[in-house]
Chain A
Amino acid sequence: MKILIVEDEKGLAESITEYLSREGFVCEVANTFWQADEKISLYQYDCTIVDLTLPDGNGFDIIQTLKKIAAATGIIIISARNTLEDKLKGLEIGSDDYMTKPFHLSELNARVKSLIRRRNFGGNNDMTWKDIRVNLPARKVFIRDIETALSRKEYDLLLYFLSNIDVALTKESIAEHLWGDNMDSADSLDMVYSHIKNLRRKIVEKGGKDYIQSIYGIGYKFTAP
């Protein structure tokens, strides 16, 4: 899976590259508009992550070119601009997702994976890890092939974990993934705790192992014990 990262802030581009490479993606970086323009005309990518504000051009133009020459590429915008107009414009010209800076790398990773899944299999597939199987279109979860009823948020939480196996996730990134940006309070962290507790209980009840590992002070990691 090849990913192009168009981002002028070198440190951020590096972080994204490192993070996504760990997940098995092949990443390339373009720091300027012209580099990006050259790369998209020469190579094919499964997904492109585009920053809108570039020193020598506008990310929207890159997206428009991409749509013309490689319509199958998934596009995720990462921008510091959080106006509704920018978001609407981004979606209008064919991007698949819009993330406002600062974002969580784990969230970006989850979105890239979900985008590639949707593109490659038309969203019609199963996701399997160890003894957990998730039927995505039906939103059904099977643990050791036994169907397990999860609440909506527990399902979202499990999917987020499955997209970030072996990765330390902060409580904040989980809270934001589940409830969005505008629910930042001590309460939402409490809620994360209780949802994690329930999910852990449900997995163990059906004979699964306890995959959710707590990391003191930071958050959780979904990993084989």
Chain B
Amino acid sequence: MKLLEKASRIYLLASLLIYLAVGIAFFWIIKFMIYDEVESRLMVEKQDFETYIRTNDTWSNNSYFVENKIEVVPVFGKVDNRVTFTDTLIRNRYEESADPFRQLTFHTLIGGSPYRVAIRKSMIESYKLIEAISVAMVAFLGLLLVSTFLFHRVLSGKLWKPFYDSLSRIKEFDWTKNKPLETVRSEITEFNELGDVMEKMASKMQHDYRSLREFTENASHEIQTPLALINARVEQFIQSKDLGETHTYWIEEIYHAARRMSRLNQGLLLLAKIENQQFTEQEEIDLSELALNKLKDFEDILQHKEIILSVQSTASFRKVMSPALAEILLTNLINNAVRHNYTGGELRLESGNDYVQVSNTGNPLKSDPERLFERFKKESAGAESLGLGLAIVKQICDSYDLQISYHYDEPMHLIRIAAK
């Protein structure tokens, strides 16, 4: 839920509750005041009535013009001394309706005999007043609610605008590029502070990324150059005519070790680069088509090892990724399938719209298949294998949200790369 929407909802709910409580309280207060007023007037009339009785000691309903105003009824038996107020409805003389009255009931002696006296006052005007006040109040409170709600919406929209603008810039920010992050400046200190912090963090990220990138490049250069020197010197050395058998053996070993080290270094650097997301170039690549193209590079070796190749491509598997990494991914997969194959074996390439699968014949795994994609996991102790090929494949899959799975279905080893 968006911040503004959430704030509006809370505001709306809270003000509704508050206004409702205020409305109800107000209604009761007005009602109480009106009753208080009516009752004190009834008390005054009671005093008038008693004064009249004391002087005249008699009462006639005729002397009172308005009907039902004062009702005097003789009572028998025990006389109750309580004075009570009650609400009552009295039928209207002219209309077929009952009107509300407030009634004061007390007992008194007229001419020595007990009577119950009820003095009444019509509440019809007061009720109309309460009604009018209530309607007016509800209308005003509603208006207030709507207007403050709208005001609040517009205001917070305006206040938070720099925040949202900055947010969208932060979302677009790419630390692999050189363009610095610029947040939106506003009058609000907190937003500016947030912007400052974000800008600082962004420039630190860019800086770290750059130095990491430079480091991997420099490390590569620093290690490859001496290796190039060893290689070159060995090549010069083997040109001499008088090399003994032991010498050639040693020199061959040195040459091999240097080449292995160079490959190892390149492999590890590649892993580091993938981890650091240094392959920023992206384009849509058809992995099934690319796999078919890559197979052409392996024609000679397939022929040499008499491997039977079968291709089953039903659809193109499109994926947006770095073209360089896509090539490495498929080359390593196919290379792996060729290297661990035996003469006269089989290599199968299958692909559909969301997967590529390379399977090959080969001896069953000696180690745990779970650890197949770990670095330096070698099946054969052969010096040619570095144990990085599948680790690189896994790393590429991880960084592009591809799922890689291994399955052994005797005698085929299947490696499947599928979209998640």
Interface residues of A (CB under 8 A from B): 9, 11-12, 15-16, 18-19, 22, 53, 78-85, 100-106, 153, 167-168, 170, 172-173, 178-180, 182-188, 190-191, 194, 215-218
Select A217's contact among B223, B245, B301, beta carbons within 8 Å.
B245
Contact B236 A12, beta carbon cutoff 8 Å: no
Contact B252 A19, beta carbon cutoff 8 Å: no
Find the residue from A81, A102, A191 having the highest chain B CB count within 10 A.
A102
Contact A81 B221, beta carbon cutoff 8 Å: yes
* Neighbouring B residues of A188 by C-beta, 8 Å: 301
CA–CA, A102 to B133, complex, Å? Answer: 95
SS of B interface (majority): helix
| In the assembled complex, B228 has its CB within 8 A of some CB on chain A | yes
CA–CA, A175 to B335, complex, Å? Answer: 15
| In the assembled complex, B297 has its CB within 8 A of some CB on chain A | yes
| In the assembled complex, B339 has its CB within 8 A of some CB on chain A | yes
Given A9-B228, A168-B239, A216-B245, are A187 and B324 also a contact pair (CB < 8 Å)? no
CA–CA, A217 to B245, complex, Å? Answer: 8
Q: Mark B279-308, 1 if CB is under 8 A from A, else 0.
A: 001000000000000000110110011000
8 Å CB interface, B222-238 against A: 222-233, 235-236, 238
Say how far B295's CB is from chain A's closest CB, in angstroms.
13
Among B88-96, B154-162, B257-265, B396-404, the stretch that binds chain A is B257-265
Find the residue from A12, A18, A81, A215 having the highest chain B CB count within 10 A.
A12
B338, closest chain A residue (CB): A187
Contact A103 B338, beta carbon cutoff 8 Å: no
* Neighbouring A residues of B305 by C-beta, 8 Å: 187
Select A84's contact among B231, B233, B324, B339, beta carbons within 8 Å.
B324
CA–CA, A99 to B238, complex, Å? Answer: 22
Q: Mark B128-151, 1 if CB is under 8 A from A, else 0.
A: 000000000000000000000000
CA–CA, A22 to B240, complex, Å? Answer: 13
Find the residue from A16, A19, A168 having the highest chain B CB count within 10 A.
A168
Contact A183 B301, beta carbon cutoff 8 Å: yes
Q: Mark B302-333, 1 if CB is under 8 A from A, else 0.
A: 00110000000000000000011000000100
Select B301's contact among A53, A105, A191, beta carbons within 8 Å.
A191
CA–CA, A15 to B230, complex, Å? Answer: 10
B interface, how many residues as a size bin? 35 or more
A188, closest chain B residue (CB): B301
Contact B220 A80, beta carbon cutoff 8 Å: yes
Contact B239 A101, beta carbon cutoff 8 Å: no
B323, closest chain A residue (CB): A84
Select A187's contact among B262, B323, B339, beta carbons within 8 Å.
B339
Say how far B184's CB is from chain A's closest CB, in angstroms.
33
CA–CA, A130 to B11, complex, Å? Answer: 97
Contact B248 A218, beta carbon cutoff 8 Å: yes
* Neighbouring A residues of B223 by C-beta, 8 Å: 80
Contact B228 A19, beta carbon cutoff 8 Å: no
Contact B224 A101, beta carbon cutoff 8 Å: yes
| In the assembled complex, B251 has its CB within 8 A of some CB on chain A | yes
Given contacts A9-B225, A168-B239, 13 further A-B contacts (CB under 8 A): A11-B232, A15-B229, A19-B236, A80-B220, A100-B224, A101-B228, A105-B232, A179-B301, A180-B297, A182-B297, A186-B384, A191-B304, A216-B248
| In the assembled complex, B217 has its CB within 8 A of some CB on chain A | yes
* Neighbouring B residues of A186 by C-beta, 8 Å: 382, 384
* Total A-B contacts with CB atoms under 8 angstroms apart: 121
| In the assembled complex, B59 has its CB within 8 A of some CB on chain A | no
| In the assembled complex, B276 has its CB within 8 A of some CB on chain A | no
24 A-B residue pairs with Cβ-Cβ distance under 8 Å, sorted by A, are A9-B226, A22-B239, A82-B220, A101-B224, A101-B225, A102-B228, A102-B230, A102-B258, A102-B259, A102-B262, A105-B235, A172-B259, A173-B235, A179-B300, A183-B298, A184-B384, A186-B382, A187-B304, A190-B304, A191-B300, A194-B304, A215-B238, A218-B248, A218-B252
B273, closest chain A residue (CB): A83
A176, closest chain B residue (CB): B259
Contact B225 A170, beta carbon cutoff 8 Å: no
CA–CA, A178 to B225, complex, Å? Answer: 24
Given A179-B297, A183-B335, A188-B301, are A106 and B248 also a contact pair (CB < 8 Å)? no
* Neighbouring A residues of B266 by C-beta, 8 Å: 82
Given A12-B229, A184-B263, are A105 and B236 also a contact pair (CB < 8 Å)? yes
| In the assembled complex, B249 has its CB within 8 A of some CB on chain A | yes
B217, closest chain A residue (CB): A81
Given A101-B228, A188-B301, are A217 and B249 also a contact pair (CB < 8 Å)? yes
CA–CA, A78 to B229, complex, Å? Answer: 13
Say how far A174's CB is from chain B's closest CB, in angstroms.
12
Given A182-B331, A191-B304, are A170 and B255 also a contact pair (CB < 8 Å)? yes
* Neighbouring A residues of B335 by C-beta, 8 Å: 182-183, 185
Contact B221 A15, beta carbon cutoff 8 Å: no
Given A172-B259, A185-B384, are A15 and B232 also a contact pair (CB < 8 Å)? yes
* Neighbouring B residues of A104 by C-beta, 8 Å: 231, 235
* Neighbouring B residues of A168 by C-beta, 8 Å: 235, 238-239
CA–CA, A173 to B239, complex, Å? Answer: 14
B332, closest chain A residue (CB): A182
Contact B228 A80, beta carbon cutoff 8 Å: yes
Say how far A222's CB is from chain B's closest CB, in angstroms.
13
* Neighbouring A residues of B249 by C-beta, 8 Å: 217
CA–CA, A183 to B331, complex, Å? Answer: 9
Given A102-B231, A103-B231, A186-B384, are A215 and B224 also a contact pair (CB < 8 Å)? no
Say how far B276's CB is from chain A's closest CB, in angstroms.
13
Given A102-B227, A190-B304, are A185 and B339 also a contact pair (CB < 8 Å)? yes
